[in-house]
Amino acid sequence: MNPNKFRVYHSTPLMAEGGLQLMGGGVGLAAFLLVANILYPRDPFWLRMTRTILLCWNGYIMYIMWQKDANPVVQRNLVSFGSAAVQFISTPRERRAIRAMCLCVMMGFNPTFLPSPPSADTPEDTTPTMRSPQRFVLILTLLFLLWYLFLRPSPPVAPVAPTDNLPSAAVDKFLRRKINEARPVIFTIADISSLDNLHNIREKLTPWGRTSNYVVLCLDAPCMAMDTDGFKRLDISMVRGGRDVVLILFALHLSRAGYSFLHLDSDICLTGTHDPFSRMLKPTDDTWDVQFMEESNKLDPGFWFSNPTSETVAYLVRCKTLLDKQLDAARDKAKITDANIALTEYSGISATYILREALRGISLRYTLLDKEDFKSWSDHQAWEAQNFATEPQIDILIRHTTAIHFTCIDKSVRSYFGKLYGGWSDHNGYYTNVRGRYLSISGITGTKEQLVNFIALAVQAALDTGRILILPYNVEIIQKRIKSVGPDTVPEFKRVPTFPFYRVIDINSLHGVIEYVEASFPLNRDKYSETKIFIADLVLDETLLEPEKGHAYPKLVTKMRESSGAGVIALSLEGFQMRNAVAFERDEDYIRAVKRRLRVCENIDELETACGKRCT
């Protein structure tokens, strides 16, 4: 056998070798594909592969040139072909850097990973061995793979120019590949402020088999980068105008493409009690085109089921016309020019207004859903103190409601409302994982100042005993209102027996102070776990507020620590008046630090509240 010939034309005999050759080839192939994606991430696949193959070819040329006994004719032919091929590389810097990398890649295939061919003076040894230079190259390649897969920074993403239209090609491709046309598309338009609720919506749809066509339209990068499996996401961050514009455009696109759809707003809370589709008219029923939930006797697109009929398409085309007029008005108002239009966000666009106005004078068969089954909170918020502030009331609400649209609720507390009214799922074991022991408190009564003292006491006691605080449903408040008597105003005191807790203390002020869960946590937990938790009842009296000898905390803390084995300590304040503990209320040493961090709602003395003023 000619050793020179073996070293130049090595592929055929080497294929007969075993695992070491396979490993070398696999590493080289993997490195080849990685290099292709690193160098040309934005090129089409065929061009990316072609460029990388040509680069590797030039690396192979260098390898052949190093072979002193290589055939000169072969060398000249390879160099000629490589010189023409290298023109695919765009810059000299790339040529220098990539040739060096390709040399390492090609060495993954070269025969020196295998034993040298036997000479006449040495017996043939068929045992594969790896020499030091090749071992170094293999380690270098593996380190490169480790860096690429786990340690490298994210590649820069080219900014996408803002536009007034959906990326139709991307949407069509997404629908063809990931959506079953025979089933309704369920979609939510989301941004960073609504990521938590996406998990809840999806998991509430899971028992009914409705998640295969659930799509999230992402308005920003955090939504697209959300670390979770099972979500089908579409980037529409380039569309100006936000969710209102996207809602009209995407609904029209789906209807024209023949898809029925259900839009769920990002502040919709699904209770999980019913399959949403079972509470609406069936898609096979030809008596309707669109179905909306109701708000103040008008349509609310927060929950919107649509059939792709010709009437629906005509309706949405009219909506698009009205949208264009609003966009033109927004441009005129902002005096947007061609020079800065890409940097300007539209404002004043309302999809709800457009969808309501477009109904005028057209033959569209639309249905408003049962407002007791699909609740819009703006219709109920004025009566929440009388109707939705106790556990039995909330339990009934959850069992008889399919969805709640939390309009009129500040974004910062929507997650708490979702939990309180049964819209939270067991995502990450929120209900089933035992995260610690709990402290619940009930029977809080008094004026604003007394209520705050009770709440601060519960928070501090939970901190000192290492317990998670279960917030109360409500308190009994003695409100101080101002009454006009002729030309004068006098204070008037009114007792409200079930005043919602979230209207006493700003829930957000508890962040960073104590770990807490919603008032309905035990009620919601029973739906996900059959494991019972031992509850120890504790009734507060004046003696428990006396200071523990030699310590800075009251005897209440000692009493609670004696029940350390209880999963829940239920602290009852029924009949207790803070004024009976004169020294405790006067000094406030134990609760002073916590009180400074709690923010009391300024509208605590108002019986009713208005939109966006849950706690001001």
Q: What pTM did the predictor assign? A: 0.71
Q: Residue 250: is it exposed, middle or buried by C-beta count within 10 angstroms (0-12/13-18/19+)?
A: buried
Burial of residue 79 (CB within 10 Å: 0-12, 13-18, 19+) is middle
Q: Which of 30, 25, 14, 8 is nearest to 78 (CA)?
A: 8
State the residue for tokens 């074991």: 429
- Considering only residues 322 and 48, tell me which one the structure prediction assigns the higher pLDDT: 322
Residue 519 confidence class, pLDDT cut points 50, 70, 90: very high
Mean pLDDT, residues 64-70 taken together: 51
pLDDT mean over 420-432: 87
CA angle 336, 342, 343 (to 5 degrees): 80
**For helices 45-65 and 72-85, what crossing angle results, to 10°?**
150
Range with the lowest mean pLDDT among 55-64, 164-173, 211-220? Answer: 55-64
Question: Could you tell me the domains of the chain?
Answer: 3-119+128-151 (no CATH), 168-391 (3.90.550.10), 435-597 (3.40.50)
How confident is the model over 582-598, as a mean pLDDT? 79
Taking the C-alpha atoms of residue 425 and residue 430, their distance in angstroms, rounded to an integer, is 8
Q: What percent of the chain has pLDDT over 70?
A: 70
Report the C-alpha gap between 536 and 572 in whole angstroms.
11
- The pair of structure tokens assigned to 119 is 């000479």
Section 185-201 average pLDDT? 91
242-256 and 168-178 helices, crossing angle to 10°: 60
Give the confidence band of 586 by pLDDT, cuts at 50, 70, 90.
low
Split at pLDDT 50, 70, 90, the class of 188 is: very high
What Cα–Cα distance (Å) separates residue 301 from each residue in 123, 242, 247, 265? 84, 15, 9, 8
> What CA–CA distance (Å, rounded) separates 178 from 17?
43
**For residue 612, what are its two tokens?**
């966006």
- How high is the pLDDT of residue 356? 95
Model confidence at 153, pLDDT cuts 50, 70, 90, reads confident
Mean pLDDT on 3-14: 42
Phi and psi at 343, nearest 5°, equal: -105, 5
Query: From the CB of residue 41, how many other CB atoms can be counted at a distance below 10 Å?
Result: 12
* More confident: 13 or 307: 307
C-alpha 266/C-alpha 418 separation (Å) is 11
Residue 187, strand partner residues: 215, 263
Structure tokens at 221: 């990068």
